[in-house]
Chain A
Amino acid sequence: MNIVICIKYVPDAQADLTFSESDNTTDRLGVEGLLSELDEYAIEAGLKLVEGAVGPDGAASTVTVLTVGPDRAADAIKKALQMGANAGVHVNDEAIHGSDAVATSLILAQAIKKIGIPDLVLTGMASTDGAMGVVPAMLAERLGLPQVTLASEVTVEGETVTIRRDGDLASETITASLPALVSVTDQINEPRYPSFKGIMAAKKKPVETWSLADLGVDAALVGLGAAWTTVESFAKRPPRVKGQIVTDEGEGGTRLAEFLTAQKFA
C-alpha cells in the first residue's frame, strides 16, 4: 500500500502571531516553527495502516510525506521521517509565498500526480495556523478522488477504506474504494515520538526538493498576487480589560450570581 501524507510546517501556536505590514500576510519571520501537531495524527495513521498491511504479493509499502513551504519546512519532513515515513518531497519556490488554500491545493495536487497517485492521500483535519480546514476537500476535488474526511477511525480492507466520522448529530460510517483521500482528526490515535533508531535512520532517507517548474505549475497561479480573495485592512483589537477576580471565602458563588444579575444573565 502506498500512502502520501500532506504535512505542513507552521509557526508555533504559543508564539504571538502578527501581520506583516508590507503585504498583509501572516508574519512568520522570527517565529519558531514546527510540524503542525494535527498532521502528526495523519502520519501516525499512515504508519499504522502500512504496519498492519501485508500486500497480496508481499509488495512493499511506501509512506511519502509531502510539504509545500519555505526552506525551514524541511524540519517538518525530518520529523515525519524520524517517526517512520520512508521518503519526503518538499515543494519550495520563492513564488509560493502568500499562497492561499486554493493555490496550495493546486501545488499539492500536481506534486501528488508527479509522485504517482497512491492508494491513500492522508491529511490532517486543519492547519494549526490558518485552520481553514479546506485544503483536503479542495485536494480531493482537484484529484477527483473520493473524499473521506474527518475520520476518527480508519481501516483499509482490500480495495476499500472505511472511516467513522463523529458529526454533530450522528456518528457516520463512510466507505470508498481506493484510491481515496482521507483526513483524520485528533481523536484517531496517539502519535508516536521518534525513537533513537528512527532519528538515526531518518538521516539516510531520500528527500526530493521540487520547484514549481518541476511540477509544471505556472508561478502566476500561486502566491499572494494570484489569490482569489484579498485582505482590505486589519485592525488590532483592544486587549481585554482585566476583569474582577475574587477569592472564595465562603461567598464566591454568591458574588458570581451577583455579577450575573448585574449583567442581566440571571
Chain B
Amino acid sequence: MAEVLVLVDHTEGAVRKTTTELLTIARRLGEPSAVFVGTGFDGAKETLAQYGAEKIYRVESTDVTDYLVAPIAEVLAMIVGSAAPAAVLLSSSPGHKEIAARLAIKIESGLITDAVDVQAGDSGGLSTTQSVFAGGFAVRATVTKGTPIVTVKPNSATPEAVAGAAVEQAVEVSISESAKGARITDSQVKAASGRPELTEAAIVVSGGRGTGGDFSKVEEFADSLGAAVGASRAAVDAGWYPHGNQIGQTGKQVSPQLYVAAGISGAIQHRAGMQTSKTIIAINKDAEAPIFELVDFGVVGDLFTVLPQATKAVHTAKG
C-alpha cells in the first residue's frame, strides 16, 4: 500500500490534535507516514505511533527551523520524490497552507485547501469535501494532476488510536540557499491561557463589543463549560482581547460542537469564522441583531445578567 505523508504540527514535540486527525484520515487512503520537523522528536514519537504512523521521517536541521516556510516545502518535495506517496496531508493553519502552496508548485501537483472531509476516491485517488460560501454549499473535489496535496480543517475527523510501527527514518537535508531567504530572527513565545486551543476546542465562547471591554463574564461562562474563549474583531481592535483569539475571516475559523456569541452582532466577516459550528447560541441586547439568524438558541438580553446566571446554573447542574 502506498504511503500517505502527514506533516506533523507540534510545539517542541507536543503533537497537536489536528495531526492525530490527519493520521486517521491518512489510514483511509494508504499507510500513514508522519513527517516530523524540528526538536522534541522523542516526545512526539509515542503519540504518532499511537495514532497509526507506520513510518516517521525525522528532520532536525536548523536549516529548516530557522527560516520561514520555504525549507519545509523543499524537504517535503524531497520526501515525495523518494517515497512516491498517494497523497500529502497538512493542517489548514496559515503556515501549513503556505507550505502546501509552495509544494504544489514544486511537484506540479493539485492542491485542495480547507477540506472538512477526505475519502478514498471511487476510481483511485481521493475525494475531498469543502464547505464554501458561508457554509451554504458542500463541494466535492478531486486532484487531477500529480500527488494530491490537501490541507484539512481541525475537527474534520475523530482521531482513532491504532498502533503503528513508527519506524524511524532520519532524513539528511541540504536546503538550497534560495530557500533560506527569510530568516526568523526573534520569537516571543506567547503565554498559554490554560484553556483549550481555539481551533481544536469542542466549545467556544466569544465576546464582542457588547462586553464593553469586560471579558470576565465571558471567561467565567467559558470555564464552566471547559470552553475556549474567542473575540470579535471589534473587541480585538479595541485592545480588549489578544488578536490570536479573533474569530472570523481574518482571525481563526472554528467549527466546534457549540459556539456561543455574547455581545456580537454577527457581521459577515465574523460569521465566516464560526458559521459551520454544529450548535450556535447568541446572547444580545438587540433582538434584531443578525447573529440571531444563525442560532439554535438565542437570548435577547444583557450578557452581564444572562451569562452569570447561566454560569451558576451550569455549575449547579454539574454538581
A:233-266 near B, CB below 8 Å:
233-237, 239-248, 251-261, 263, 265-266
A152–B203 alpha-carbon span in the complex (Å): 28
Interface residue count on the A side (C-beta < 8 Å): 85
Q: Are A138 and B68 in contact (CB under 8 A)?
A: no
Contacting residue for A169 out of B11, B70, B145, B306, CB 8 A: B11
A168–B310 alpha-carbon span in the complex (Å): 30
Residues on B with C-beta less than 8 A from A174 are: 68, 182-185
Q: Are B141 and A102 in contact (CB under 8 A)?
A: no
Ranked nearest first, the 5 interchain pairs of A and B with the lowest CB-CB distance are A253-B309, A248-B301, A146-B181, A228-B110, A257-B313
Which residue on B lies nearest to A146, using beta carbons?
A: B181
A133–B169 alpha-carbon span in the complex (Å): 32
Min Cβ gap A215→B in Å is 17
A:119-155 near B, CB below 8 Å:
125-126, 128, 131-138, 140-142, 144-150, 152
Q: Tell whether B305 is near chain A: CB-to-CB under 8 Å.
A: yes
A230–B185 alpha-carbon span in the complex (Å): 40
Residues on A with C-beta less than 8 A from B62 are: none
Please judge, given known A-B contacts A132-B97, A228-B144, whether A140 and B102 are in contact too, CB under 8 Å: yes
A: residues with CB less than 8 A from B are 13-14, 16-19, 38, 101-102, 105, 125-126, 128, 131-138, 140-142, 144-150, 152, 162, 165-177, 180, 185-187, 227-237, 239-248, 251-261, 263, 265-266
Contacting residue for A246 out of B109, B257, B300, CB 8 A: B300
Q: Are B302 and A17 in contact (CB under 8 A)?
A: no
Min Cβ gap A233→B in Å is 5
Interface residue count on the B side (C-beta < 8 Å): 91
Residues on A with C-beta less than 8 A from B186 are: 172-173
Q: Are A266 and B224 in contact (CB under 8 A)?
A: yes
Q: Are A245 and B298 in contact (CB under 8 A)?
A: yes
Q: Are B299 and A246 in contact (CB under 8 A)?
A: yes
B:94-140 near A, CB below 8 Å:
94-95, 97-102, 104-106, 108-114, 127, 131, 133, 135-140
Q: Tell whether B76 is near chain A: CB-to-CB under 8 Å.
A: no
